[in-house]
Amino acid sequence: MENANQVNLSADFFLNKLEESKVHFERALDCKHTEFDDLYPYMIEHPQFFWYKRYVAWSELLTIVKLCEDMEIPWAERFEAHQAEYVAKRVMSSKVLDCWYETNDTREHVG
């Protein structure tokens, strides 16, 4: 019984981390403040900053997804179908940047 509780706690932990990394990526995508800004405040002055900030957030998201996969924790259901497809392909392309929020007729952004 204790082992089952540990598995549930581990799954809950990684799913929470997955949600945090998804929000972090979306905030970076929207050019909103993230903890990355606090770590490297001088970077805001450089033109490549927002690209690098998105890259860091995307890498974090992929790392958490990989850990979920390794632990057989279903992660894709936490995303829209097209977002899960982008994550599964693992490449942050212009399509990911341009179409992350796209659903049928709406664009939604993190608050």
Assigned domain for 8 exists: yes
Summarize the confidence of residues 71-76 as an average pLDDT: 96
One-letter amino acid identity for 29? L
* DSSP string for 2-50: HHHHHHHHHHHHHHHHHHHHHHHHHHHHTT---HHHHH-GGGGGSTTHH
Assigned domain for 79 exists: yes
Number of domains in the chain: 1
Summarize the confidence of residues 53-61 as an average pLDDT: 95
Summarize the confidence of residues 3-7 as an average pLDDT: 64
Give the pLDDT of residue 50: 86
Summarize the confidence of residues 66-91 as an average pLDDT: 96
> What share of the chain in percent tops pLDDT 70?
86
- The answer to whether residue 19 scores a pLDDT higher than 70 is yes
Q: How far apart are the C-alpha atoms of 78 and 85, rounded to whole Å?
A: 12
Mean pLDDT (the chain, rounded):
87
Assigned domain for 108 exists: no
Domain extent, residue 41, equals 2-99
Assigned domain for 15 exists: yes
Give the pLDDT of residue 38: 86
